[in-house]
Amino acid sequence: MDNDNIQDTLVKKLQFALRNENMDEFREAFLELHPYDQADFFIEIDSEDRLKIYAYLSPKEISDLMEHIDLDNTEPLFTEMDPTFAAMVFAEMATDDAVDILNELEKDKVASFLTIMEKNASDEIKQLLHYEEKTAGSIMTTEFVSVYKTQTVKQTMEQLKKEGPDAETIYYMYVVDEDKRLVGVVSLRDLIISDEITLIEEIMSEKIVYVSVADDQEDIAKTIRDYDFLAVPVVDFQKHLLGIITVDDILDVIDEEASDDYSKLAGISDVDRPEDGAIAAAKKRLPWLIVLSFLGMLTASLIGQFEATLNEQAILAIFIPLIAGMAGNTGTQALAVAVRGLATGEYGSDGKLKLILREASTGMITGTVCGIVITIIISLWQQNFYLGLLVGLTIMAALVVATLAGSLVPLIMDRIKIDPAVASGPFITTINDIISILIYFAIATAFMGVLL
């Protein structure tokens, strides 16, 4: 039997157990599933069935599956739980995961849960809640193993057995001095192959890569990617060890940042989700559409300024969509290259200059080739070489300018500390429409003598 059939059988067994309120049968089948599959089943059923599950499972078992549910779906789940049970679930979760969910809830609900929660758990959560969102402090976990450099290997192994079950990772332990400052790192492998009486400071590595508690999560993702770390330590300005950020947290960050950049490139305030209603989706799209409509009116007013030219040569109007469309498309292509490079950290100061020069050259090549092709096609179609030359020259100039705009705008935004993805596709397209139309009618005005 393949995995899909096994999953279907288990799901039917779970549904049957819920309908018949058979707790033992439900628990047996449910706990056979991976937490991800548990979460998938959990989110698909109605609230009435979930209320039964809250009675069947322990707070720890619920916390395991909650860590696999999208943040946008967690608020209604915790709202429908009994507040005391919800507080117990938060207490069982990894601190950083609990903080991520609490940041999505209303402040009065957060205060209520923290008041009910056991003091040790609430203190750890409060410690992370005050950090600014999307910084190292907000995504780090305080569940890690740190050791003193004066400990022996034997003492460290005993500590690891005691603290390891609650730690996010045990493959690396971070070494601190008597003032809790980070001084080194030691791997589990180093401990296993060393003599029991060996001091930690003798086998630790002092070459440590760490991040500051205020660093942006996107920069941390690049650090973990570049160094292939499983985790990275987080320190304050005096290098006191505060927590660690693990690779699984960074995968969530990468997904979040990619979704954020995608939404901005699409010209919406946030990514539309399948569960969003029409009104919610419209709210996300309307702000940019309204801004772009004003820019569109500017385009219309520019065309109006050349009304006399159009009256004399009405045929010029039929090429406006061609010119504006090609300029918009090439600008969006350059924009995508620039934003991706900035997001992945590929460009240093020299890299940015090379990008501009490359895009300028690309614009010249594509503009020249397209211009020549368009000139030939229109000359044969309209039996008018000068009209073909006019549109061809416009295409060539518009593509060069549009390509440069697509690469320069995000670079300028990055320079002034604005997210380059804000230079969205629709925004660049509209700007290039305006520029290409100006170029078109400026050249057309100069050609009026030979077109008549």
- Band of pLDDT at residue 289, cut at 50, 70 and 90: low
> What's the CATH number where 241 sits?
3.10.580.10
pLDDT given for residue 1 in this prediction: 46
Return the bridge partners of 152, or none: 199
Listed residues 260, 295, 326: the one ending a domain: 260
Query: Quick one: 366 and 402 in the same domain?
Result: yes
Q: Are the C-beta atoms of residues 423 and 409 closer than 8 Å to each other?
A: yes
Domain assignment present for 348: yes
Domain assignment present for 220: yes
pLDDT of 422 > 80? The answer is no
Listed residues 95, 130, 165: the one ending a domain: 130
Domain assignment present for 136: no
pLDDT given for residue 59 in this prediction: 92
Q: Are the C-beta atoms of residues 311 and 302 closer than 8 Å to each other?
A: no
Domain assignment present for 211: yes
Query: Quick one: 297 and 404 in the same domain?
Result: yes
Provide the number of structural domains found in the chain. 3
pLDDT given for residue 11 in this prediction: 78
Coil, helix or strand at residue 204: coil
Query: Quick one: 291 and 235 in the same domain?
Result: no
pLDDT of 419 > 70? The answer is no
What is the distance of C-alpha 286 from the center of its chain? Answer: 22
Coil, helix or strand at residue 143: coil
Query: Quick one: 122 and 255 in the same domain?
Result: no
Query: Quick one: 79 and 225 in the same domain?
Result: no
Domain assignment present for 355: yes
Q: Which one of 2-16, 26-40, 173-187, 344-358 scores highest in mean pLDDT?
A: 173-187
Render pLDDT for 74-128 as a digit per residue (tens, 0 to 9). Answer: 888 888 999 999 999 999 988 888 888 888 888 888 888 888 888 888 888 888 8
Q: How many CA atoms lie within 13 A of 387 on its CB side?
A: 17
Domain assignment present for 354: yes
Across 85-89, 128-132, 140-144, 282-286, least confident range? 282-286
Q: Are the C-beta atoms of residues 398 and 440 closer than 8 Å to each other?
A: yes
> What's the CATH number where 35 sits?
1.25.60.10
Render pLDDT for 438-450 as a digit per residue (tens, 0 to 9). Answer: 888 888 888 877 7
Q: Regarding predicted confidence, which is higher, 254 or 66? A: 66
Averaged pLDDT for residues 304-319: 72
pLDDT of 405 > 70? The answer is yes
Element (H, E) at 305: helix 278-305
pLDDT given for residue 32 in this prediction: 85
Residue appearing with tokens 């060393």: 194
Render pLDDT for 227-237 as a digit per residue (tens, 0 to 9). Answer: 888 899 999 98
Query: Quick one: 52 and 115 in the same domain?
Result: yes
pTM (2 d.p.): 0.60
Query: Quick one: 254 and 314 in the same domain?
Result: no
Q: Are the C-beta atoms of residues 445 and 439 closer than 8 Å to each other?
A: no
pLDDT given for residue 211 in this prediction: 94
Query: Quick one: 436 and 293 in the same domain?
Result: yes
Domain assignment present for 55: yes
Query: Quick one: 175 and 126 in the same domain?
Result: no
CA distances from 114 to 42, 129, 387 (A): 25, 11, 73
pLDDT of 292 > 80? The answer is no
pLDDT given for residue 275 in this prediction: 53
Residue 332 lies in domain: 278-451
The percentage of the chain sitting over the pLDDT mark of 90, rounded to a whole number, equals 27
Listed residues 130, 156, 190: the one ending a domain: 130
Averaged pLDDT for residues 123-134: 85
Query: Quick one: 119 and 166 in the same domain?
Result: no
> What's the CATH number where 301 sits?
1.10.357.20
- Band of pLDDT at residue 310, cut at 50, 70 and 90: low
Q: Across 190-275, where does the E strand assignment appear?
A: 211-212, 231-235, 241-246
- Cα-based torsion angle of the residue sequence 299, 305, 309, 312 in order, rounded to the nearest 10 degrees: 100
Query: Quick one: 225 and 291 in the same domain?
Result: no
Render pLDDT for 197-226 as a digit per residue (tens, 0 to 9). Answer: 999 999 999 999 999 999 988 889 888 888
Q: Are the C-beta atoms of residues 173 and 149 closer than 8 Å to each other?
A: no
pLDDT of 238 > 70? The answer is yes
Q: Are the C-beta atoms of residues 241 and 176 closer than 8 Å to each other?
A: yes
Query: Quick one: 153 and 118 in the same domain?
Result: no
Spatial neighbors of 281 by CB under 8 A, at least 6 apart, are 272
- Band of pLDDT at residue 265, cut at 50, 70 and 90: low
pLDDT of 311 > 50? The answer is yes
Q: Are the C-beta atoms of residues 452 and 414 closer than 8 Å to each other?
A: no
- Band of pLDDT at residue 270, cut at 50, 70 and 90: low
Spatial neighbors of 413 by CB under 8 A, at least 6 apart, are 419, 420, 422, 423
pLDDT given for residue 149 in this prediction: 94
Domain assignment present for 75: yes
Spatial neighbors of 83 by CB under 8 A, at least 6 apart, are 112, 113, 116
Rounded to the nearest integer, the mean pLDDT of the chain is 83
Q: Kindly give the pairing relationship between strand 172-176 and strand 146-148.
A: parallel
